[in-house]
Amino acid sequence: MLDSILESIRVVALPTKTDFRSVKVREVALFEGPAGWGEFSPFLEYDANECVPWLVSGIEAALVEAPRPLRQEISVNATLPALNTREEIAEVLSWYPGCSTVKVKVGASLREDLARIATVRELLPDAQIRIDVNGNWSVKEALASINAIHENGGLQYVEQPCETLEELRELKSRLQIPVLIAGDEVIRKSADPLGLDLQGVVDIVMLKVAPLGGIKRCLEIAKVHGLPVVVSSALDSAVGISYGLKLAAALPELKYACGLGTGQLLISDVAILPIVDGIIAVNSVTPDVVALNQYAISPQRLDWWRSRVRDTWSAGAQEWVAKVGWEW
């Protein structure tokens, strides 16, 4: 199996429209298998152990047919990085035609956060606002910030306001206003996301298919915790986004718009998944040959990615694949 991946692997460097998670060029490894294309795109700073579920997810996508879809279209949110001028914010929102939900990155400066959210409300007065903190607040900061933001208009939910399970549980117990809490990093960075006790911790489970090891495992996590789910992405290429769409399509219930529109943050992609009236159609994706060639990395960099795949395989992906019984 490892040889098959390494033989077909193509790696591209996709430029972004704006600085997102300090990423200005997104490197993505793609490989083709019997069921289609898989993506392996952990962020460059991740070590081999953290990369394991990303590789397993890509292998699943390339090797295993996706579950039967229960819906053919997925509503998506706009994603607004931590930008501060009205012109920048308006430009980013224009990339998401018809989206009625906006996820706003916050957490560095409450004053700037309030101004950013106010600008979004001014530009899209009917939009649902959700904020993503990436665990950057203490409990004390979260209480003060959530209250301040809520006073200026309602929030659909707050994603990962604090870093740890214990902090989130304390925050939930002390929060006196009707604001929902969503868990992202606390789930996907856990050694055992299936075994977490999320009662009294979060109201919504964020599922990102690649960091959690694929669709099958994400569906298991959703079933175990029995909470509403939002499927999101990790600045994937269209190949990875298409797999997230298939997860969203397979969930028994899908109450909220999903964070699967992040392809709009890329200047170029390997395929097109257009947003039409706030919706992306569920489709399999085949990378465009021209894009694969145009954005291909150097041979030396390709060697680095091949080594990364080998290291990740040895760090746990091989054992994971053997346990589930996949063969290629």
CATH topology of domain 2-66+289-324: Enolase-like; domain 1 (3.30.390)
**Inter-axis angle of helices 139-151 and 165-174, to 10 degrees?**
50
Is the pLDDT at 225 greater than 80, yes or no?
Answer: yes
Is the pLDDT at 22 greater than 90, yes or no?
Answer: no
Average pLDDT over residues 156-183: 97
pTM for this structure? 0.96
Residue in the block written with tokens 């606390």: 186
pLDDT for 69: 98
As a whole number of angstroms, the distance between CA 315 and CA 52 comes to: 7
**By C-alpha distance, which of 8, 5, 60, 55 is closest to 326?**
60
Mean pLDDT of the chain: 97
Residue 155 CB coordination number (10 Å):
19
**By C-alpha distance, which of 82, 78, 80, 42 is closest to 189?**
42
Average pLDDT over residues 176-200: 96
pLDDT for 161: 98
Half-sphere exposure of 94 (CA within 13 A, CB side): 7
- Which strand (E) or helix (H) includes residue 206? strand 204-208
Residue 111 CB coordination number (10 Å):
9
Residue 53 in contact with residue 313, Cβ under 8 Å? no
Q: Where are the domains of the chain?
A: 2-66+289-324, 73-281
Which residues are part of the catalytic machinery?
Answer: 105, 208
Is the pLDDT at 6 greater than 90, yes or no?
Answer: yes
pLDDT for 152: 87
pLDDT for 142: 98
Residue 80 in contact with residue 120, Cβ under 8 Å? yes
pLDDT for 23: 84
The CATH number of domain 73-281, selected from 3.20.20.220, 3.40.50.720, 1.10.3720.10, 3.20.20.120:
3.20.20.120
As a whole number of angstroms, the distance between CA 268 and CA 256 comes to: 27
pLDDT for 196: 97
Per residue in 80-109, pLDDT (tens digit) is 999 999 999 999 999 999 999 999 999 999
Matching fold, domains 2-66+289-324 and 73-281: no
Amino acid code (one letter) for 15: P
